[in-house]
Amino acid sequence: MELNQNIFRANDIRGIAYEDLTPEVVQSLGRALGSEAIDRNIHEFIVGRDARLSSPEIYDWLSSGIISTGCNLIDIGIVTSPMFYHSTYELNSSSGVVITGSHNPGNYNGFKIVFNKNSTSSEEILNLKRRILEKDFRKGKGISKKEDIKETYIKRILGSIKLNKNLNISIDCGNGAAGVVAKDVYERLGCNVIELYGEPDGSFPNHHPDPSKLINMEDLIKSVKENNSLVGLAFDGDADRLGVISPKGEMIFPDRQMIMFSRQIIQSSPNAKIVFDVKCSKLLSDEIEKLKGRPLICKTGHAFIKQKIRETDALLGGEMSGHIFFNDRWPGFDDGIYAGARMLEIIANSEQDDPFVTVPNMLSTPEINIPASDEEKFQIVKTFIENSNFSDAKTVNIDGIRVEFEKGWGLLRPSNTSPCLVLRFEAETNDHLNKIKKIFYQGLKSIKPNINKF
């Protein structure tokens, strides 16, 4: 069996369908998951899948592997990743896997895995790889049954959110898994919903489902403006990430969303701890401190954020990529549709027509991705750090390197999910922004001479 070991990533497992994720590899992963479950005295394993074209076949391969170990399988069908997370609280099993490529290109797919309601750690992912390489599998004959968890998921949200007025909103499901549930949720909350691309279609015929990229938000911006919507909400392929558009058509990046959510959380829970990743604006930590909350910076990655929330009892966590984790009225897992409902609650309770104008802003870049193979990206970052001398700045090295100068900051880190380097910059003026970008560019060019200007 050919096994590309790069598919085993920090938070989950991802690769190119049919190339990295072959029938043999996926069936072996199923055997590893079923065996691990039984060794943990778990005898039922939940399996859901997103709307990607490869997901039905991958489901068949994976489920056959799980059942071959003697572990029973609960098939919850096409779901968002948050619906899958919800199922681990709702059904008899607290463990399982959702087949999803998330926001990756259409030819990718992958697996987000949960044991006992917790996302797998890097160590647990490596242990699954070990099982596959050593063929450390149980043998048996499990059975499969189907469960529909859509209604209980909707009721969980309705039990947490109350809107005191009807809102006109636009949503963009991007032909991803959000289409199976998002419109129903918001209409049952009392909203008038204009939906774009609600039909799940893994060929993604309209645009790629990644709300962190402005190009993917253009149709939603148009809808918000044409329909006088109070907000536009967008979701990635498995709906665990949220994109937000203001009534004026401005993209509200997740770190600015987090400022609004932090205000709501700290108002009801003074001194609350708020977790955020290294890509987030300094304005977020400044605002949390101003509100007398406690800012906690963390490595990027949904499993790292969840772990930090559990360790610190934080009430909110968020990533620049759009993963938002509520741990007050919600069980702490990332959910773009639920985060959208919390945003609607803030809008409904606001005395302003456009509450987004109250959120501070600085000059910043979106996330910049530079192609680099999975083999080279970690070495490039390591060499950049070793070659750098930032004696005039504060450095944060928990995830790549974040360099905080007096008037702004820059970040370089290897992506957890894609073969690329990730950069982001923020500063008080254009001059400072360009100066910081130039420092990083020159440092990278000395390591990778053919790098494109950013």
Beta strands in 231-371 (DSSP E): 231-235, 242-245, 251-252, 273-277, 294-298, 316-318, 324-326, 363-364, 368-371
Burial class (CB in 10 A: 0-12, 13-18, 19+), 146: exposed
The one catalytic residue in 35, 81, 102, 246 is: 102
Residue 304 backbone dihedrals phi, psi, to 5 degrees = -65, -45
The answer to whether residues 411 and 428 touch, using CB atoms and an 8 Å cutoff, is no
Could you tell me which of 439, 311, 317, 443 has the C-alpha nearest to residue 381?
Answer: 443
Report the alpha-carbon distance of residue 1 to residue 15 in Å, rounded: 16
Question: Would you give the distance in Å from CA 204 to the centre of its chain?
Answer: 19
If one counts every other C-beta atom within 10 angstroms of the C-beta of residue 336, the result is 27
The answer to whether residues 407 and 432 touch, using CB atoms and an 8 Å cutoff, is yes
Given phi > 0 = left and psi -120 to 50 = alpha, else beta, which region is 10? alpha
Residue 206 backbone dihedrals phi, psi, to 5 degrees = -105, -50
Q: Is 81 labeled as catalytic in the residue annotation? A: no
Helix (H) or strand (E) holding 422: strand 420-427
**Which whole-number Å values give the CA distances from 71 to 37, 62, 95, 135, 217, in the listed order?**
7, 12, 12, 17, 42
Tell me the three state secondary structure of residue 44.
strand
Report the alpha-carbon distance of residue 69 to residue 196 in Å, rounded: 42
Give catalytic residues, as residue numbers: 102
